Amino acid sequence: MPAEPPADPTKYRRILLKVSGEVLMGEQGYGIDMKTVDTVAAAIKRAVESGVQMCLVIGGGNIFRGLSKAAGDMDRATADHMGMLATVMNALAMQAALEKIGVQTRVQSALTMNAVAEPYIRRRALRHLEKGRVVIFAAGVGAPFFTTDSGAALRAAEMGCDALLKGTSVDGVYTADPKKDASATRYERLTYQDVLAKDLRVMDASAIAMMRDAGIPIVVFSIRGEGSLRRVLNGEGPFTVISGQV
Ligand code: UDP
């Protein structure tokens, strides 16, 4: 598997795009903003039309997070189950937005929910991708005490993706939180080891370690704004690449 993004990034054959729940709530403080979902769906459609096979993982933080205040003194496993169900709702919203504009999709859930989504079956997912369908992986890894970042890393490795693109509301990894510290600067490149040693909190340590072991680069970028996904697929910044070497 490649340890580096392809020299010509337009040659991405298959990617996994992780979209955090926070992005989907748009300007709202909570929930799903369908206008934002439509904008992300339109960007995905353009990527698919350019010939890239797309896997999608959508977070759930816009609806429920296992470690949130709303979880109160609920036991962690129960709260995390609710968080996983939130990712299924987001996956269905994204599926609706994509199908509305003519993009074929399948939702595969790590928690079996036969009336709603296909169960996760690796070989079946690969077949969907080969047919040009977007596969949306819901419910993370299907177990509590994980996040959708780990789900994204696991599926990216299983699907043999060339890169894991993490679409957030910030255009890369910064030395400090750019929303709180005006002097924060963006890293162009980092190694997996840097991220772990500096505790940069881009993704969970387990997700970073999994990508390091699989040799899959992570590209962190802002998915807000027109054309951002297309630019990243063309290798144009701003973004931060996390890989085996700087
Ligand atoms: N979750 C889980 N196992 C998984 C994936 C998700 O328990 O494999 C739960 C966990 O409570 C998490 C929530 O689902 O906080 C929503 O996912 P996440 O926080 O990763 O969403 P994001 O931050 O990307 O919006």
Q: What pLDDT is recorded for position 135?
A: 98
Integer Cα distance of 122 and 120 in angstroms: 6
Q: What pLDDT is recorded for position 39?
A: 95
φ, ψ of residue 115 in degrees (nearest 5): -75, -15
Q: What pLDDT is recorded for position 70?
A: 87
Specify the ligand 1 atom closest to the Cα of 144. Answer: 7
Q: Looking at residue 30, what DSSP letter applies?
A: S
pLDDT exceeds 60 at position 3: no
Q: Would 142 be classed as within a structural domain?
A: yes
Rounded to 5°, angle at Cα 223 from 2 and 227 = 95
CA of 76 to the centre of ligand 1 (A): 12
Mean predicted confidence (pLDDT) in 150-155: 98
Kindly report, residue by residue over 182-216, the tens digit of the pLDDT.
999 999 999 999 999 999 989 999 999 999 999 99
* 246 band by pLDDT with thresholds 50, 70 and 90: confident
* 225 band by pLDDT with thresholds 50, 70 and 90: confident
Q: Would 239 be classed as within a structural domain?
A: yes
Contact 170, 240 (CB under 8 A): no
Q: Would 1 be classed as within a structural domain?
A: no
Q: Which token pair is 167?
A: 């679409």
168 CB near ligand 1 (under 6 Å): no
CA of 23 to the centre of ligand 1 (A): 14
Q: Would 214 be classed as within a structural domain?
A: yes
Rounded to 5°, angle at Cα 121 from 119 and 123 = 155
Q: What pLDDT is recorded for position 1?
A: 45
Q: Which token pair is 185?
A: 């600067």
Q: What is the pTM of this model?
A: 0.94
Kindly report, residue by residue over 26-83, the tens digit of the pLDDT.
999 899 999 999 999 999 999 999 999 999 999 999 999 888 888 889 999 999 999 9
Q: How far is CA 232 from CA 19, 67, 211, 244, in A?
A: 14, 31, 19, 19
Mean predicted confidence (pLDDT) in 235-241: 93
CA of 83 to the centre of ligand 1 (A): 5
Give the range of the structural domain holding residue 33, as residue numbers without chain letter: 14-243
Count CB-CB contacts under 10 A for residue 241: 23
CA of 8 to the centre of ligand 1 (A): 33
Specify the ligand 1 atom closest to the Cα of 22. Answer: 25
Indicate the top mutation candidate among 16, 76, 80 to test ligand 1's pocket, ranked by most ligand atoms within 8 A of CB: 80
Mean pLDDT of the chain: 93
Q: Would 4 be classed as within a structural domain?
A: no
Residue with CA nearest ligand 1 atom 21: 59
Q: Which token pair is 44?
A: 């995905």
pLDDT exceeds 80 at position 6: no
Task: Give the closest residue to 224 by CA, choosing from 71, 33, 7.
Answer: 33
18 CB near ligand 1 (under 6 Å): no
Contact 159, 211 (CB under 8 A): no
Distance of CA 60 to the CA centre of its chain: 11
Kindly report, residue by residue over 82-140, the tens digit of the pLDDT.
999 999 999 999 999 999 999 999 999 999 999 999 999 999 999 999 999 999 999 99
The CATH number of the domain holding residue 237 is: 3.40.1160.10
Q: Would 8 be classed as within a structural domain?
A: no
Q: Would 167 be classed as within a structural domain?
A: yes
Strand partners, 165: 17, 219
Q: Would 149 be classed as within a structural domain?
A: yes
Q: Give DSSP secondary structure letters for 51-110.
A: T-EEEEEE--TTT--TTSGGGTTS-HHHHHHHHHHHHHHHHHHHHHHHHHTT--EEEEES
151 CB near ligand 1 (under 6 Å): yes
Residue with CA nearest ligand 1 atom 14: 83
Annotated binding site: 18-21, 60-61, 65, 80, 141-148, 168, 174, 177
Query: How many domains does the chain divide into?
Result: 1
